[in-house]
Amino acid sequence: MYDPEKVALANEYLACALDIGERMLIRGAEIHRVEDTIERIGLAYGADRVDVFSITYTIVVTMSGEDFGVLTQTRRISGFSYDLNMMEKLNDLSRSICEKKLKPKEIQRRMAAISGLPAYTHWQLGLAYALISAAFAIFFGGTALDAVVAGGIGIVIKIVEYALNRLDVNRFVVICLCAAAAGFLAISSARLGIGISAEKVSIGNIMVLIPGLMFTNSIRDMFMDNMISGAVRCTEAIIIALAIAFGFALINFTFGG
């Protein structure tokens, strides 16, 4: 029989490792990094073997050791929100855990501190959407006026996205409707006769919606032999791209952009 206290403690450490892995995955970490982090934490606390299986939406960990036997925990992942700053903090915490073997309460305290870090406000994100849209409008050959209009539409995209997310609309539908709104505003602005190119403005706005990081991570996962996760992320990125294309195409065919 195993000591119940040691089994309970091992379960706490395993739960802490899963908490870190979950948050890393939500914030944009690739699968290999998540699996490696959880494995290192488990081994640092005396496990003889740690088997981690992770895909985009699930983490399964089995940890075995002489003092606590075989323990398995599963975590369902949802609510993705890329945040590289928070991911860096989680990486630092995982290194501290492996080096200093922190107690569960200390890990939870530091996790709470990381979770409490100020997130980007909607105004900051709106400004980012505007700057990205304006920059890409110029990059693809637009004028300064095209950039200004694209920036304004970028802010509208963020407002539409926020409103639809508040209504808990499917995220693929959200992206499609954001693309449709951007296309409609670009065509409408061009027809006002203020001398802008609807094409350049639309291209700038499209770049806000393109799932570049998701697609890059999917290719990286495939190169790291995480084929299932890579295929899932790649498929998701393709569906998002199709949703963007459908939204813009619908407006173009309807209003003759």
212-246 pLDDT, tens digit each: 888 998 998 898 888 998 999 999 999 999 999 99
| 195 pLDDT more than 80 | no
| 55 pLDDT more than 70 | yes
Q: For residue 256, what pLDDT band results from cuts at 50, 70 and 90?
A: low
Cα 95 to chain centroid, rounded:
22
Beta bridge partners of 60: 53, 74
| 118 pLDDT more than 90 | no
Distance CA 165, CA 162 (A): 5
Q: Give the least confident one: 77-91, 100-114, 144-158, 229-243.
A: 77-91
According to the model, what pLDDT value does residue 40 have? 95
Q: For residue 56, what pLDDT band results from cuts at 50, 70 and 90?
A: confident
Identify which of 234, 213, 160, 217 has the alpha carbon closest to the alpha carbon of residue 31.
217
Percentage with pLDDT > 70 across the chain: 99
Distance CA 33, CA 26 (A): 13
| 153 pLDDT more than 60 | yes
Q: Average per-residue pLDDT in the chain?
A: 92
pLDDT tens digits for range 19-50: 999 999 998 888 999 999 999 999 999 899 99
CB atoms within 10 A of CB 62: 17
According to the model, what pLDDT value does residue 81 have? 82
Mutual orientation of helices 171-191 and 198-209 as an angle, nearest 10°? Answer: 160
According to the model, what pLDDT value does residue 43 have? 95
According to the model, what pLDDT value does residue 83 have? 85
HEC secondary structure over the chain: CCCHHHHHHHHHHHHHHHHHHHHHHHCCCCHHHHHHHHHHHHHHCCCCEEEEEEECCEEEEEEEECCCEEEEEEEECCCCCCCHHHHHHHHHHHHHHHHHCCCHHHHHHHHHHHHCCCCCCHHHHHHHHHHHHHHHHHHCCCCHHHHHHHHHHHHHHHHHHHHHHHCCCCHHHHHHHHHHHHHHHHHHHHHCCCCCCHHHHHHHHHHHHCCHHHHHHHHHHHHCCCHHHHHHHHHHHHHHHHHHHHHHHHHHHHHCC
According to the model, what pLDDT value does residue 77 have? 92
Domain ranges of the chain: 4-115, 122-255
| 257 pLDDT more than 60 | no
According to the model, what pLDDT value does residue 35 have? 94
According to the model, what pLDDT value does residue 120 have? 80
Pairing relationship of beta strands 69-76 and 49-55 according to DSSP bridges: unpaired
Percentage with pLDDT > 90 across the chain: 72
